[in-house]
Amino acid sequence: MPYFQTTTDGTTLAYEDYGTGAPIVFAAGWVLNADMWEYQVPFLVQHGYRCILLDRRGHGRSDRPSGGYDVDTRADDIAALIEHLDLTDVTLVGHSAGGAELVRYLARHGERRVSRIALLAPAIPFMTQTGDNPAGVPPELLEASMAELDADRPKWFAARAQGYFATHLGNNVSAAVIDFEVQRCLSASPYATRQVQRDLLASDHRPDVAGLTIPFLLLHGLVDQSIPIEVSSYQAIKLAPHAVLKEYPTAGHGLYISHAAQVNSDILEFIEQ
């Protein structure tokens, strides 16, 4: 597995690189790693694309440093990978917190190397309710959730596992897959887990989203309990009216598994249009 060192603080990050052709750079969701894309990568490689997947600091096989979990540093880590591989004509694909990292990357480093961006249930534009962001989640609810996470991290993830895949709507996700995904979430550094989540909830990406000029695709489940579409994609498309939003009526936050075939088709169509 290849590694590289960031230019910000020398953290060693792991990534995977499959296929040839125009590059697609993937940014994983919070507490997930490159392995989350196991249903997307083979499909896109078979269609002639090069898939590059980063393990965020504190996640997967990357270093677990004591700092750098703010979104600016995480975005700079993505920039370091793209520079390290000297990529151009890049398609960016991100899920959840990875989506926030990608729009911050574009805000900080520009669109010169990137042709388009596709985000699944992204943590944008601003998760917390404030006076000028009434669509956000009330801060007292977010703090209560963080307190539960701090008190019993395994219980926090286990309690949300069924809703993550919206299995109550008949989505065909096995118990084995659900258990495995919970374990994958628990594999991230406990410290990084909490630091990234707190930063995710506090980060305002409204200027980042409003500044996007490249083609922009949003894929979001209507029953997403982790990042409700009303808080996220419905607000993002107001800031970037050129974006295309595709709603998944029966999908939760784990649409990359529960609705993998449709996600893959939508991403491929977006790249090739």
196-228 tens-digit pLDDT: 999 999 999 999 999 999 999 999 999 999 999
Q: CA–CA separation, 65 vs 57, rounded Å?
A: 7
Residue 192 burial (CB count, 10 A) = 21
Helix (H, G, I), strand (E, B) or coil at 174: coil
Q: CA–CA separation, 14 vs 34, rounded Å?
A: 9
- Residues paired with residue 220 on neighbouring β-strands, in sequence order: 247
* Token representation of residue 135: 């669509």
Q: CA–CA separation, 75 vs 114, rounded Å?
A: 14
The pLDDT of residue 51 is 98
Please list the helix, strand and coil fractions of the chain in percent, rounded to the nearest 5, in that order: 45, 20, 40
Q: Is the pLDDT of residue 266 over 90?
A: yes
Helix (H, G, I), strand (E, B) or coil at 114: strand
> How large is the average pLDDT for residues 172-200?
97
Q: pLDDT category, 7, cuts 50, 70, 90?
A: confident
The pLDDT of residue 58 is 98
**Region of residue 89 (phi > 0: left; psi between -120 and 50: alpha; otherwise: beta):** left
Q: Is the pLDDT of residue 255 over 90?
A: yes
**For residue 28, which phi and psi values (nearest 5 degrees)?**
-75, 160
The pLDDT of residue 180 is 97
Q: CA–CA separation, 6 vs 234, rounded Å?
A: 34
Short-list 209, 232, 239, CA closest to 135:
232
Fold (topology level) of 3-272: Rossmann fold (3.40.50)
Q: CA–CA separation, 235 vs 125, rounded Å?
A: 7
The pLDDT of residue 64 is 97
- Per-domain boundaries in the chain: 3-272
Short-list 49, 113, 108, CA closest to 84:
113
Asked if 263 and 255 touch (Cβ cutoff 8 Å), the reply is yes
- Residues paired with residue 222 on neighbouring β-strands, in sequence order: none
The pLDDT of residue 40 is 98
* Token representation of residue 230: 């009303």
Residue-wise pLDDT for 13-71, tens only, equals 999 999 999 999 999 999 999 999 999 999 999 999 999 999 999 999 999 999 999 99
Q: Is the pLDDT of residue 1 over 90?
A: no
Cis bond upstream, residue 23 (ω within 30): no
Residue 41 burial (CB count, 10 A) = 21
The pLDDT of residue 86 is 98
The pLDDT of residue 8 is 84
Residue-wise pLDDT for 156-170, tens only, equals 999 999 999 999 999
Catalytic positions, written as ranges: 96, 224, 253
Q: Where are the alpha helices (DSSP H) in the chain?
A: 41-46, 71-84, 97-109, 139-151, 153-165, 175-186, 190-202, 206-210, 233-239, 255-258, 260-272
- Give this prediction's pTM: 0.97
Residue-wise pLDDT for 76-130, tens only, equals 999 999 999 999 999 999 999 999 999 999 999 999 999 999 999 999 999 999 9
Asked if 129 and 137 touch (Cβ cutoff 8 Å), the reply is yes
Helix (H, G, I), strand (E, B) or coil at 251: coil
